[in-house]
Structure 1
Amino acid sequence: MSYHHLALAAKDMAGIHAFYEGIMGFELVKVEIAPVMGGGWGKHFFYRMDGDDSKFIAFWELNDTPGQDEYAYDLNEAAKTPQGTNHYSFSVDSPQDLENWRKKWNAAGLDVLEIDHNWCHSVYTRDPNGNMIEYCLTTGSFTEDDRKRALAALDEQEMNASPPPAKMKQWLASEYQG
């Protein structure tokens, strides 16, 4: 089973569109416009990912909704959690794909964080709502020992840290050479 779509509110729909279609390459294919529960109305924009008509990321442009001046669009700001805790991740198929996304984001003026987590390798940036997004390549496999460690961690009350990342690098857009 996979998901159909992730839906998020948009602070600036024009900025969201420029980012998700212009930079990410997701195609805007549908909008639903309707009243919103609790009052007001919204436009629900659906962006098709990878040309697949069963996988979307969607954004709400909310209008005339109660309290909309107080909305927090960054998931971590809204939840009052540390930056990067709540984020969304898309998969890539190769190390070259990961490098291509890093370069594309830097060329678009976005800072990028790269982390080799020892079992997956990731690049991260932020969207116009301030949310962290990730492209991730699984580079390892999972063993029964990995499962046992994960199950044991469910009951642990003190930090028993995982090995540190094999690599961590900040790629600043201001230093990007193309």
Structure 2
Amino acid sequence: MGYHHLALAAKDMKATHDFYERIMGFELVKVEVAPIPGGGWGKHFFYRMDGDDKRFIAFWELHDTAGQEGYKYDLNEAAGLPPGTNHYSFTVDTVEELLAWKDRWNAAGLDVLEIDHNWCHSVYTRDPNGNMVEFCATTGSFTPADRERALAALDETEFKPSPPPAKMQPWPAAEKADA
């Protein structure tokens, strides 16, 4: 079972649209304009990913809602969590495809962090709302020992770190790209 869509609030819908359509290559296909429970109204924008009409990322542009001037759009800031704790990750099939995303993000003027986690390889950046976005390629397989370790961690109360990443490389943004 997959998910249909992930819905998030947008701080600046035009900047969010530019990021997700121009940079990420997702296509805006639908908007629903509706009242919001508790007052106000919103526009709910749906972006199709990879031409798939079953998987979307969606953003709310909210209007006239109570407390709107105090909203926090970065999921971690809103929850009081360390940066990057809550994030969303999109899949790629190869490390080459992953590195192409790194280059695409850098060319768009975005900072990128690349991490080879030893079983998957990832690149990360932030969207205009401050949320961490990841592309990830699974590069390993899972063993019974991996499952045993994960099950044991459910009850652990002491720090027992995993092996360090095989690679952790920041890639600072290229000069800011023209919008």
Which range, TM-score by smaller chain? over 0.9
Aligned to 1:135: 135
How far apart in 1 are the matches of 2:42 and 2:91?
30
Kept in 1, the 8 Å contact 2:41–2:63? The answer is yes
Match of 1:106?
Answer: 106
- 1:64-103 to structure 2, matched below 5 A, reads 64-103=64-103
> Structure 1 CA distance, aligned partners of 2:98 and 2:156?
34
TM (norm. structure 1) is 0.97
Aligned residue for 1:165? 165
SS at match of 2:83: coil
Off by >6 Å, runs of 4+ in structure 1: none
**What is the CA distance between 1:169 and its match in structure 2?**
0.2
Partner secondary structure for residue 173 of structure 1: coil
Which residue is 1:2 aligned to? 2
Specify the alignment match of 2:11 in structure 1: 11
Aligned match of 2:122: 122
- How many matched pairs? 176
Q: Is the 2:121–2:139 Cα contact (8 Å) retained in structure 1?
A: yes
Cα deviations across residues 10-49 of structure 1 (Å, max 9, x unaligned)? 0000000000001000000000000001110000000000
Q: Alignment RMSD, CA only?
A: 1.0
Identity of aligned residues (%): 75
**TM-score (normalizing by structure 2):** 0.97
For residue 85 of structure 1, report the CA deviation from its aligned partner: 0.2
For the Cα contact (< 8 Å) 2:109–2:174, is it kept in 1? Answer: yes
Distance 2:40 2:145 in 1: 52
Segments of 5+ residues of structure 2 without an aligned counterpart are none
- Structure 1 gap ranges (5+): none
Residue 136 of structure 2 aligns to a residue whose secondary structure is: strand
Task: Assess if the C-alpha contact under 8 Å between 2:88 and 2:134 holds in 1.
Answer: yes
